[in-house]
Structure 1
């Protein structure tokens, strides 16, 4: 199947959970390069955020991305009831990267929850650094900030980079 640059984002339902769980394994595998996490003995990775996204309906929202009718990624938004929304997890399958799917997907997710946003990523993940700075500039031109914050409970890791912006802008 050829990758389409289109991205359709929709709320992930309980019926979508098996698909998102498989995408989660790919996401955690990619992230293990930067956080040093190894799989559990059964080959899975930690799933706290996945569990929260599908069980804490009041404060979390899971989204599934599709391109050409195929799963292309997911996003988990948390802190929906808080003053600042957090894009907690965001993943696009490698075959859909650099085709515009991620940028289209993040625009659709953020537009569903107007207001202040925060997104964390790691300096060591050069692709994420470029992507999230581009996203911030496109969604809030000249009106975004970046700071480094320690990873809670993980003094062994370098600080996360946090981008903050308001969408739509002021």
Structure 2
């Protein structure tokens, strides 16, 4: 895992549609009319100083990414997290989360959708492993999408 620089943007840009495609199953979202998914968060991670992008590697191959926002605030948010299907269930995800969180110690919040059962299990396990029993979970409405079920947010401090 490494912090992504400008040279890594094309790699994350190619991984982004896979991430959004995975989420589309849970969120029921379709691509835009041109066949793309919105990528403003990915762009923000490379342009906004309050964001950071990380590239997960398995050897010299991209295995996923993490986007962090709110670095300038007391609570950091893991805004997007993706592991390529071929690297899932191999420990890559937990390793990346540990390393990203270690780069920015303090309070963390991570949103996910309860309907994404694999992600829900993963994030609850992450919270337990990183914070023991000292973590929270709450449901929050999705801004601008009143028709969507609320997101689940876990919080912990490292």
1:124 maps to 2:143: no
1:159 maps to 2:150: yes
Q: TM-score under structure 1 normalisation?
A: 0.91
Q: Among residues 13, 31, 47, which one is paired with 1:21 in the alignment?
A: 13
Q: Give the Å deviation of 1:35.
A: 1.3
SS in 2 for 1:145: strand
Q: Give the Å deviation of 1:45.
A: 0.2
Q: Among residues 41, 44, 52, which one is paired with 2:33 in the alignment?
A: 41
Question: What corresponds to 1:140 in structure 2?
Answer: 131
Cα distance in 1 for partners of 2:116, 2:137 equals 15
Question: What corresponds to 2:59 in structure 1?
Answer: 68
Cα distance in 2 for partners of 1:163, 1:13 equals 28
Deviation by residue 1:26-81 (Cα, 9 ceiling, x = unmatched)? 0000000111221122221001101111110x200000000121000000000000
Question: What corresponds to 1:5 in structure 2?
Answer: none
Q: Among residues 22, 25, 31, which one is paired with 1:30 in the alignment?
A: 22
Alignment length, in residue pairs?
A: 158
Runs of 4+ off more than 4 Å: none
Q: TM-score under structure 2 normalisation?
A: 0.98
Q: State the structure with bigger RCO (CA 8 A, min sep 6), 1 or 2.
A: 1
Question: What corresponds to 2:71 in structure 1?
Answer: 80
Cα distance in 2 for partners of 1:25, 1:113 equals 27
Q: Which structure 2 residue ranges, 5 or more long, are not aligned?
A: none
SS in 1 for 2:99: helix
Cα distance in 1 for partners of 2:28, 2:22 equals 10
Question: What corresponds to 1:98 in structure 2?
Answer: 89
Deviation by residue 1:92-147 (Cα, 9 ceiling, x = unmatched)? 00111111000001000000000000000000000001000000000000100100
